[in-house]
Structure 1
Amino acid sequence: MRSVADAVILSWGWRRFLVAFVAGALSALSLAPIHAAPILLLTIPVLVLLLDGAIAPAAHGVRRARPAAAVGWWFGFGYFLAGLWWVGAAFLVDAEAFGWMMPFAVVALPAGLALFFAFGTLIARFLWVESPMRIFALAVGLTTAEWLRGHVLTGFPWNLLGQAAGFTDVTAQAASVVGVYGLTALTLVVAAAPVVLLDAPRRRWTRQAALGIAALLLAADVGYGVLRLAHAGAPGDAVIPDMRVRIVQPAIAQSLKWDPDEAKKTLDTLVELSDLKTGPETLGAISFTHIIWPETAVPFFLTEEPQALSQIGDMLPVGTTLITGAPRVVPGGDGAKQYFNSVYVVDDRGRIVDAYDKAHLVPFGEYLPMEDVLGRIGLKQLVQSVGGFSSGPGLRTLVIPGAIKVGFLICYEIIFPGAATAAEDRPSILINVTNDGWFGATSGPYQHLDQARLRAIEEGIPVLRAANTGISAVVDPYGRVVAQEGLGNRGTVDSTVPSPILATVFSDYGSYFLLTFYLFSAIFIAAGARK
């Protein structure tokens, strides 16, 4: 084993980069839908060994650590390529217009995101010590990189390394205290720990200390999860009284979604599923207090289609509310129009009583960054039917019929840790409407659902998720899936609604755990540097 480790440390040139790339790609197996989190116990130690040998002896300053940045980039490129390959499916929905962009997007996105890992390993190498405590240098570097990835240029915290800890309900519970960035730090320390067994015996005390700390963190994570779930009761036991929802999953093909000739058929499908009688206790829409349709379920401007609102009002029984995604248009004073990706709340008379406009838009999907420049070279956003969307004013809590306080998150908005609720008005429910039909039967929808689970745990708030092609689900405040409809199926999710729990440590104190982690890591690294 020592000889294999030495071969990894001493590898150079393309061989070193190939090892880093393969280790990164294998690390993506820890994510949904595979959830092979133990693979990190192999791949992260390989990254540590690569960084052990990633130094330019004759160079100084940043140049001396440049090989470490290269290793980080190749590891990140493998990780993001294997984890985000499914993005290419979106460009095949309208292959004639966007197919040519697919190869570039599938490679360019992972290549750009890998720069964060390069920066993270650069930081790690500057903190590096010839001691088992170097695993904390790696954890500090990559956790910092992941935090930056979630915030720089509007952020893209998809497939954070900490999501691997969500492979079981038990190991995910620590997110209620430390958040997913904290889980990233804990995951890196625990996953890197096996490399310590290969260190020289002369560092025995630091080796024992590093292994002991990693074991303690793992035990704390599992122990906390077991205790928390033991006091939670069975999924679905605690519910909001007198509230029963039907989530409609229409499975409308993305290629047909914005076809004007299909609009009436789409609405008919949604209405039919909403009023579907599925048994003696489910007599259609009358059995539910709230019906939820997905993001842009209605592929037209609802305010300009009175006959559609009339059809919806006829379907809704007295006391039943519809929540649906739909585009919204606002005329401007100069004749220009603004378009929003919105959620409407419609009462039992077919009247729109409130709306929420998506605030965090998807770059290149819903708007084109630097449109004047990028538009000249032929780039354009994927959603072309209504022009570019405008951003809404931000998260807010709405009170819907039934006096239920709801926070709406449209598609992409649910992937941001610590940004799932309005700061001053905590909702009782999070409703996430999305259209994962862009990504077909790939790993993307499974990864998206995992992020919804983590937001529920972080905030202690149940999530009701309506997806066009799936995966629609009801998730309790402990991140447990109470009910769901499979990917690609046409059907409904009929369920009671889990009750929220008290505000979590994370929801009250955010990412302060990271500051504590950095402080203790500095102490451990300094101790490891002592001869």
Structure 2
Amino acid sequence: MQAIAQRILLLHGWRRALVALVAGALTALAQAPFHLFAVGFVTFPVLVWLLDGATGATPGRPAGALRSAFAIGWLFGFGYFTAGLWWIANALLVEAPEFAWAIPLAVTGIPALLAVFWGLGCVLARLVWSDGVGRIAALAVGLGLAEWARTFVLTGFPWNAIGYALMPSPVMMQSIVLGGLFAMNAAAVLVFALPAQLGAERRRSAAAALVLCAVLLAGHVGFGVWRLGLAPDRAAIDAEAPVIRLVQPAIAQQQKMDASARQDTFTTLLDLSALDAAPASSAETGAAMAAESPRRPDIVIWPETSVPYLLTREAAALAAIGDTLGPEQMLLTGAVREEPGEEDGTVTGRYYNSVMAVSGDGVIAGAADKVHLVPFGEYLPLAPLFERIGLNAVAAADRGYSAAPARAVIDLPGGPTVLPLICYEAIFPHLSAAPAGSDVDAIVNVTNDAWFGRTPGPWQHMHQSRLRAVETGLPLVRVANNGISIAVDPFGRALARIGHDERAVADVQLPAPTEPLRLGMGRHGNFWLFLATLTAIALAGRAGWGASRGRP
């Protein structure tokens, strides 16, 4: 292993760049739908060895080493994000004549921008680099901060955060309650990179690193086993708990956008909603679960922007919904909400990507609008500039969406209080926390992954959404127009699932939230405490490294 590490360390030029790029691309296999997390134990040591060789053109000039570290981190990140996010371009093929020109920007531009975070993370790590475990801690701090910044800089896009790679199944998801996704990002880098010490000359150092890696991984899995062992049985749900129906119409995006097909789309949703009680299915096997719902659903959920009409204008559509629902049933549906307005004699309106609650008598009983819009998808940043060259937002037709000023919950009459998360809002940990003063019973995530076809995108989206349930202790119901619809309990265990391209419904009783596990300083405090500890280890390693090299 020392020979391999030395060869990688000494690489230069295009060979060095290629190894960084390929290692990053292979790391994407650790994410959904592959979940080959073991690949991280190979690719992250390669990253460490490449950074070991990050030296400047002039000996003793640190700026050159930092430039080299940025290049290595950027190339590794570019490979990772390109291999993990190439499917975004599929959304541009839905309206290929208008947006096909932007496919190269989607495939390479977004990864190139996201890779900057990893490049800067490697620069930060290189500032306190050493020749032992301290440099592994430094890399965990650098990339941990990079992934944290990726949630809010330039509106944020924390898709495929590296921590998800260490949480492929419920037993490996539970550690997220200790420090949240941000701590899991740093922990994943630490665990994956520790085997880099196999390339060290000192055998005791290599053995200690492997033992630490094994202890951390065993603790991660062991904590999951312990916590799931204390969790209630999935079938042990209060008989009075509301029955939720997940409706996945599996309608092609082209049909959704076809004005002449609106009635067919709407009829499909109504027909699925009116079906007799449907059994939930196991997310892992697809088989029907033993306990089928004995009654009609109390709450029916349709996916994002599923209603092909503006409900505030279409009394007939509301009446049709009322005719389909029973008197005690409620519908939660993704829909476009219009807010009419007038300014200086000109009719101006705002449109919101919304979740609406419709009662059994066809009355809109509540609504919550999307807070975090997709740049270039639902709105145009610097709109006057881009509109001047004829550019529109991909998913917003010619109107664009407005963002809600704050998150809102929906109190269902006689039912639970739900926190709606629309589309990729579910990948932002801070958006899944209940708003101040709200007592939330469940998270409802409506989405439309039909934009992305049968690519890794829908599976990645589902997996990341699923972690919000574990993180918050709230059950989550996720309903997609197409993709993967799923209901999970507060421990991330699947209660119902509808697969990709399946037009189906599934009924499931909503489990109760679980009491949040509060340890130490809470999730956010524990994250910063964890980074502080890793930073101390990195600085100690740097001091020891300097002393061993005769530095003061």
TM-score (normalised: structure 1): 0.95
SS of residue matched to 2:167: helix
* CA positional deviation for 1:356: 0.5
Does residue 224 in structure 1 map to residue 223 in structure 2?
A: yes
Aligned to 1:262: 261
Contact 1:171–1:221, Cα closer than 8 Å, also in 2:
yes
Amino acid in the other structure paired with 2:403? S
Aligned length, in residue pairs:
529
Match of 2:412 among 390, 400, 413: 400
Aligned to 1:253: 252
Residues 270 and 30 (structure 1 numbering): CA distance in 2 closer, same or farther, change over 3 Å? same
* CA positional deviation for 1:57: 5.1
Aligned to 1:38: 38
Amino acid in the other structure paired with 1:13? G
Aligned to 1:304: 313
Q: Deviations over 1:476-526 (max 9, x none)?
A: 100111110001111112111121101243898342122211221122223
Contact 2:376–2:393, Cα closer than 8 Å, also in 1:
yes
Aligned to 1:176: 177
Does residue 381 in structure 1 map to residue 393 in structure 2?
A: yes
Contact 1:397–1:421, Cα closer than 8 Å, also in 2:
no
Aligned to 1:526: 539
Contact 1:459–1:507, Cα closer than 8 Å, also in 2:
no
Query: Could you tell me how far apart the structure 1 residues matched to 2:107 and 2:374 are?
Result: 16
Query: 1:433-472, aligned counterparts within 5 Å?
Result: 433-472=446-485
Aligned to 2:283: none
Give the gaps of 5 or more residues in structure 1: none
Contact 2:2–2:198, Cα closer than 8 Å, also in 1:
no
Query: Could you tell me how far apart the structure 2 residues matched to 1:284 and 1:459 are?
Result: 26
Contact 1:395–1:421, Cα closer than 8 Å, also in 2:
no
Percent same amino acid at aligned positions? Answer: 43
Q: Deviations over 1:52-75 (max 9, x none)?
A: 001215163434310010000100
Q: Deviations over 1:130-180 (max 9, x none)?
A: 223211011011111111111101110100000011112111110111111
Contact 1:339–1:389, Cα closer than 8 Å, also in 2:
yes
* CA positional deviation for 1:253: 0.9
Query: Could you tell me how far apart the structure 1 residues matched to 2:295 and 2:520 are?
Result: 36
Residues 131 and 395 (structure 1 numbering): CA distance in 2 closer, same or farther, change over 3 Å? same
Amino acid in the other structure paired with 1:12? H
Query: Could you tell me how far apart the structure 2 residues matched to 1:469 and 1:326 are?
Result: 16
Query: Could you tell me how far apart the structure 2 residues matched to 1:508 and 1:520 are?
Result: 14
Which has the larger displacement, 80-89 or 390-399? 390-399
Contact 1:464–1:474, Cα closer than 8 Å, also in 2:
yes
Residues 125 and 522 (structure 1 numbering): CA distance in 2 closer, same or farther, change over 3 Å? same
Amino acid in the other structure paired with 1:319? E
Query: Could you tell me how far apart the structure 1 residues matched to 2:377 and 2:228 are?
Result: 38
* CA positional deviation for 1:209: 4.7
TM-score (normalised: structure 2): 0.92
SS of residue matched to 1:322: strand
Query: Could you tell me how far apart the structure 1 residues matched to 2:294 and 2:154 are?
Result: 43
Query: How large is the Cα RMSD of the aligned pairs?
Result: 2.1
Q: Deviations over 1:404-459 (max 9, x none)?
A: 11101000111001321333224110000001110011111100111111100000
Query: 1:172-211, aligned counterparts within 5 Å?
Result: 172-201=173-202, 204=204, 206-207=205-206, 209-211=208-210
Aligned to 1:359: 371
Aligned to 1:159: 160
Residues 387 and 488 (structure 1 numbering): CA distance in 2 closer, same or farther, change over 3 Å? same
Query: Could you tell me how far apart the structure 1 residues matched to 2:278 and 2:141 are?
Result: 54
Amino acid in the other structure paired with 2:224? G
Aligned to 1:321: 330
Give the gaps of 5 or more residues in structure 2: 281-290
* CA positional deviation for 1:361: 0.3
Query: 1:53-202, aligned counterparts within 5 Å?
Result: 53-56=53-56, 58=58, 60-201=61-202
Aligned to 1:272: 271
Does residue 22 in structure 1 map to residue 47 in structure 2?
A: no
Q: Deviations over 1:233-254 (max 9, x none)?
A: 3334235734101111011110
Amino acid in the other structure paired with 1:6? Q
